[in-house]
Structure 1
Amino acid sequence: MDNGVKEYKSYGEQVDLLSQRGMDVGDRDTALTTLQRVNYYRLSGYWYPFRKKSNRGRDDEFSPGTCLDDVVAFYDFDARLRMATFSALTPIELAIRALLGHELGRVDPCIHLDPSLLGATARIRGDYREWLDKYERELNLSREDFVAHHDEKYGGVLPVWAAVELLDWGQLTRLYGFSPRGVQDTIADVCGLTAPQLTSWLKALNLVRNTCAHHGRLFNRVHTLSPKLPQLGQHPDLDAVATDWSRTFGQLTMIQFLLDRLQVGRPTFLPTVLKTFPSVRAVPITDMGASSDWSVTSPLWNR
Structure 2
Amino acid sequence: MRFTKPPKTFDEQIDLLINRGMAVADRPRALHYLAHLNYYRLGAYWLPFEQDHNGHQFHPGTTFEQVLDLYVFDRELRLLVLDAIERVEVSIRTQWAYHLSHTYSPHAHLDKTLFKAKWHHSGNVDKLKREVNRSHEVFIQHLRNKYDESLPPLWAICEIMTLGELSKWFANLRRGKDRNAIARTYDLDEVNLTSFLHHLSTVRNICAHHARLWNREFTFTWKIPTHRPAALLENFHNHGERRIYNTLVMLAYLMDQTSRNHHFKMRLHELLEKYSVDETGMGFPENWRALEFWATTK
Identify the residue that residue 36 of structure 1 maps to in structure 2: 35
Quick one: percent identity of the two aligned structures? 33
Identify the residue that residue 174 of structure 1 maps to in structure 2: 168
Matched, 1:148 2:141: yes
More off after superposition, 73-82 vs 128-137: 128-137
Identify the residue that residue 222 of structure 1 maps to in structure 2: 217
The Cα shift of 1:225 comes to 2.0
Matched, 1:184 2:184: no
- Residues in 2 aligned to 1:233 and 1:144: alpha-carbon distance in whole angstroms: 39
Letter in 2 for 1:222: E
SS at match of 2:29: helix
Cα gap change, 1:269/1:138 in structure 2, threshold over 3 Å: closer, same or farther?
Answer: farther
The Cα shift of 1:39 comes to 0.3
- Residues in 1 aligned to 2:132 and 2:88: alpha-carbon distance in whole angstroms: 23
Give CA-to-partner distance per residue, 1:108-163, whole Å, 9 cap, x none. 211111202x13x1x2333x233212111101111111112212221354111211
Which of 54, 60, 65 matches 1:69?
A: 65
TM-score (norm. length: structure 1): 0.89
The Cα shift of 1:291 comes to 2.5
- Residues in 2 aligned to 1:228 and 1:158: alpha-carbon distance in whole angstroms: 33
Letter in 1 for 2:221: S
More off after superposition, 15-24 vs 188-197: 188-197
Q: Check the 8 A contact 1:184/1:195 in 2, yes or no.
A: yes
Letter in 1 for 2:137: E
Q: Check the 8 A contact 1:221/1:247 in 2, yes or no.
A: yes
SS at match of 2:57: strand
Give CA-to-partner distance per residue, 1:271-299, whole Å, 9 cap, x none. 245324522xxx52211111234233241
Q: Check the 8 A contact 2:195/2:222 in 1, yes or no.
A: yes
Which of 242, 253, 265 matches 2:249?
A: 253
- Residues in 2 aligned to 1:3 and 1:91: alpha-carbon distance in whole angstroms: 47
RMSD: 2.1
- Residues in 2 aligned to 1:3 and 1:196: alpha-carbon distance in whole angstroms: 47
Give CA-to-partner distance per residue, 1:88-112, whole Å, 9 cap, x none. 1101000000000010102121111
Matched, 1:132 2:125: yes
The residue correspondences of 1:192-231 to structure 2 (distance < 5 A) are 192-231=187-226
- Residues in 1 aligned to 2:105 and 2:252: alpha-carbon distance in whole angstroms: 33
- Residues in 2 aligned to 1:187 and 1:289: alpha-carbon distance in whole angstroms: 29
Cα gap change, 1:112/1:232 in structure 2, threshold over 3 Å: closer, same or farther?
Answer: closer
Letter in 2 for 1:205: L
Runs of 5+ unmatched residues, structure 1: none
Which of 107, 110, 123 matches 1:110?
A: 107
The Cα shift of 1:14 comes to 0.3
The residue correspondences of 1:73-84 to structure 2 (distance < 5 A) are 73-84=69-80
Identify the residue that residue 16 of structure 1 maps to in structure 2: 15
SS at match of 1:268: helix
Letter in 1 for 2:90: L
TM-score (norm. length: structure 2): 0.91
Q: Check the 8 A contact 1:192/1:261 in 2, yes or no.
A: no
Q: Check the 8 A contact 2:266/2:296 in 1, yes or no.
A: no
Cα gap change, 1:277/1:45 in structure 2, threshold over 3 Å: closer, same or farther?
Answer: farther
Give CA-to-partner distance per residue, 1:207-235, whole Å, 9 cap, x none. 11100000000111011222212225742
Letter in 2 for 1:173: S
Q: Check the 8 A contact 2:192/2:225 in 1, yes or no.
A: yes
More off after superposition, 244-253 vs 66-75: 244-253
The Cα shift of 1:51 comes to 0.6
What is the aligned residue count? 292
Q: Check the 8 A contact 2:80/2:264 in 1, yes or no.
A: no
The Cα shift of 1:40 comes to 0.2
- Residues in 1 aligned to 2:214 and 2:32: alpha-carbon distance in whole angstroms: 24
SS at match of 2:290: coil
Give CA-to-partner distance per residue, 1:172-194, whole Å, 9 cap, x none. 11111222322211111112211
- Residues in 1 aligned to 2:204 and 2:270: alpha-carbon distance in whole angstroms: 17
Cα gap change, 1:20/1:207 in structure 2, threshold over 3 Å: closer, same or farther?
Answer: same
